[in-house]
Chain A
Amino acid sequence: MYEKLLCAPLFCIGSLFAQGTESGKISGNFQSNAQIYYEDSNLGIGPENLPEEKFLSNSFVNLQYTSNIFSAGMRYEANQNSLLGYDKRYNGEGIAYRFVRINRNGLDITAGNFYEQFGSGIILRAYEERNLGYDNAFDGIRLKYSPIEGVYLKSLVGKQRWYFDKSEGIVRGFDGEISLNEIFKALRDVRSQISIGGSLVSKFQQDLDPIYILPKNVVSWASRFNVHHGKWILGAEYVYKYNDPSATNNFIYKEGQALLANISYSQKRFGISFSGKRVDNMSFNSDRNLKGQEVSINYLPAFTKQHTYTLATIYPYGTIANGEMGLQAELSYLIKKGSRIGGGFGMGVLINFSNAYSIHQAQIDEKTSLGKSGTLGYTSDFFKMGDEKYFQEFNIELSRKINRKLKLIGTYVNTHYNSKVIAGYDYFGMIKANILVLETQYKLKARQALRTEIQHLSTKQHDGNWAMALVEYTVSPHYFFAIQNLYNYGNKSKKNHYPNLSAGYGKGTNRFTLGYGKQKQGIFCVGGVCREVPKSNGISLSITSSF
């Protein structure tokens, strides 16, 4: 299906080169991740758990031609077969993304695949997150136009990618943003920069269901504003969706709503921000029958800090699209150098707090149970929270340069994680964990650096306590070597080690990384979107290149 349209952009590129009528450039990148899998009796990986292929790989190459008014590109993917943890429906090879884009006299036209976001994304966002195996790119037409300075319009129509196929529904969208300061001359020199915007997104899908009477056209609209005033930024977006019975909301006919709001203040050495959100029945898929986020039209961000330390990512939050209320507050402060605490280089302090709760829900009438299929589902008081806590996290990070060679970063995280709601684990209820991390960065010589991490997670629930140590030696710009071990010493049934060795070599824009080790089973999330990662033991090779 995708291959058929490939020829058009590539022939265009060819002919442009051949004729030499445009001065353009070609760019691109390549990535291949491969792994050989082994049995591991300690981890419970027997022959029956190993992939039949033993060797799996995910690879892609992006190619793009760009000139002043014209660009075209494609991505070829070869997953032969997909690495464990990625959906098997990604197995195969083909042109998964291709487009041509023409930008002339202010009208920007894209035909083929494209990614897009309206406002904060709570009404529409198409994006790719390769590490998650997530790609909901549109295939269709997009227009962008700015009729006058300060007015920015976008419209699109298309279907979304669903593995190597496309989702059933057709998505139509329109977005307009107005910068008041750009439009009105009188406002050009004022300190406050104000922009307002609005979106309308409609989805069409045939009603072939023999049980429910379904809306073929589901409309959603959103409005937003953003104000920058000196050191302050204030913004909010509200989205409303008409009845959209779907697999995710258990085929209820209630409307959906979401509100995101944030305010922040920043000045030299100090910043603070508050965000709040309420999401009610706002899963919006281009195929109502698909649960999960595979063909999400919109994106509901998780209001939590994105951690990178391994043990801090064991209990990641995934947004509950059917309903949640939460807030996030963040404070950053750089303690002056020369002070007693700040030392010779100053000390960075970053404090973050976030939480998420269920929303209030009440029965629509006495006879109908909450969320019953084929009904309006429930009623909800917009300003009322539910009783169930989904998530809470407090974390503090202190970073301080001790001298020209040594830097220390200390992190403490306290997490409350409703395992049943977020991850579908049971038995464990609310997992409460404390995580401590100490990272050191030490410059040995010019171009040689040593980085270490010592991490500890303590919890009485789930898998119990974990400890981890990592040492990474870098000889820039070409080599790195790393060794790490995770130890699940608090696990009551099996105290497993998960050692990993890796080495990398890079020259120019090419990078090669070879690793051997064990991978723990868990959930991997980026921005509230998650996938399950299975346990494994094996050799991995990663190659990246850009040009």
Chain B
Amino acid sequence: MRTLKHQVTLVSAFCIAFSSCDVIEGPFIEERVVSECSNKCRKILLEDYTGHMCGNCPRAAEKITELKNIYGDQLVVIAVHSGFFAEPSGTYFTNDFRTKTGNEWDEHFGNSAAGNPNGMVNRAGYSESSHILQYTQWAQKVEELLEKEPKAAIELETNYNANTYDLTVTTEIEILQTISNPLSINLVLTESNVVGYQKDYDANPEKIPNYQHSHIMRKSLTGSWGKDLGKETYQNRSLISNTFHITLDEKWLPENMSIVAFITKTNTLEVVQAQESPVIK
């Protein structure tokens, strides 16, 4: 009987040790202060894989708004419409926001196959197959990556001719820490405030006719995998300049468009730095 008592005590102690539980009584939301950011601070690229037929995707878009409110310019967003949910469908969902680059990224990284909505934050974890993040994981990853110092800075200069729809973009990269990897520069055009149908499982009716799509990737200026910058190692303080041209589609509204630039490690596709600038300043 004495042994039994000891055992009961042991078990109880074990239970108490386990039962340390954090019960949050409120408030549940953190008060965040958004700090101003210069051009040379670290900026994070968030790729949101989405589609107008994806009824859960508006939740991811809301998360982006929430994160943009916190991180401001330090978060650069591209909405990649790809996969089954992005296909034109029926009489309402006639928009086709898919792009060749978006389709190739999706095929390569496996985002829509993993179920939309999801995304990548700086394509972190790609080599270990942990790159696909649900929208609820984005904040944590952004927070984690922002703690690191920037390795490069990108300056963007745009020159748009409204008569010819020609856009010239000059990029100047400044290396802030020596990087021993081949690097590529990637440029894509995005458009916001595009009104079109979107499915939303939380809305009634689910088909929203005047949904405002944001950060839609329209076209890449550098192909799907970027323009290689030509070196194996980049020394601290070195500067690299490039100029790119594109003619905008007449249906796009340049005043709602941005140019998104990001540097990737050519071999791993991991994003080193990102930048965004409106087409018309």
Contacts and interface: CB of A to CB of B under 8 A. Distances in A.
Contacts of A351: none
Interface in B1-43: 3-4, 7, 11, 14-15, 18-24, 26-30, 32
B113 interface: yes
Contact of B18 (A48, A200, A247, A374): A200
Nearest to A217: B22
Contacts of B128: 165
A91 B24 contact: no
A262 B133 CA distance: 39
Nearest to A145: B7
A221 B18 CA distance: 10
Interface string B103-141: 100010010011100000000000011101110110110
Interface residues of B, number: 45
Contacts of A291: 134, 136
B134 A215 contact: no
A92 B19 CA distance: 38
Contacts of B66: 211
B219 interface: no
Interface in A41-87: 48, 52, 87
Given A202-B19, A211-B70, A424-B55, 9 more contacts: A89-B114, A202-B20, A211-B29, A213-B27, A246-B136, A247-B134, A247-B136, A289-B134, A290-B134
Interface stretch (A147-155, A390-398, A481-489, A512-520): A147-155
Q: Which 9 A-B pairs have the closest CB atoms?
A: A247-B136, A215-B22, A219-B21, A88-B110, A289-B137, A208-B140, A374-B28, A289-B136, A374-B29
Interface in B182-232: 199, 201, 206
Interface of A: 48, 52, 87-89, 91-92, 147-148, 151, 153, 155, 163-165, 172-174, 176, 200, 202, 208-219, 221, 242-243, 245-247, 251, 253, 288-292, 374-375, 420, 424, 426, 532
A165 B27 contact: no
Contacts of A420: 201
Contacts of B114: 87-89
Contacts of B18: 172-174, 200, 202, 219
B19 to A, nearest CB: 6
B129 A89 contact: yes
B24 A211 contact: no
B19 A219 contact: yes
Nearest to B141: A208
Contacts of B32: 210-211
B201 A215 contact: no
Given A202-B19, A210-B143, A219-B21, A52 B107 contact: yes
A48 B87 CA distance: 13
B250 interface: no
Contacts of B130: 89, 165
A209 B134 contact: no
Interface in B48-80: 55-56, 66, 70
Contacts of A288: 136
Given A291-B136, A426-B199, A165 B129 contact: yes
Contact of A164 (B14, B115, B129, B132): B129
A155 B23 contact: no
A217 B134 CA distance: 22
A175 to B, nearest CB: 11
A87 to B, nearest CB: 6
A88 B134 contact: no
19 contacts: A88-B114, A148-B7, A165-B130, A172-B18, A176-B11, A208-B140, A209-B140, A210-B70, A210-B139, A210-B140, A211-B30, A212-B29, A215-B21, A217-B22, A219-B20, A242-B23, A247-B136, A253-B26, A426-B199
A291 B110 CA distance: 17
A262 B178 CA distance: 66
A218 B21 CA distance: 6
Contacts of A219: 18-21
B24 A214 contact: yes
B85 to A, nearest CB: 11
Contacts of A89: 110, 114, 129-130, 132
Contacts of B28: 212-213, 245, 253, 374-375
A377 B201 CA distance: 18
A243 B22 CA distance: 8
Contacts of A92: 129
Contacts of B142: 210
A426 B14 contact: no
Contacts of A200: 15, 18-19
Interface string B80-95: 0000000000000000
Contacts of B129: 88-89, 91-92, 163-165
Contacts of B199: 426
A112 to B, nearest CB: 21
A148 B140 contact: no
B4 to A, nearest CB: 7
A173 B18 CA distance: 8
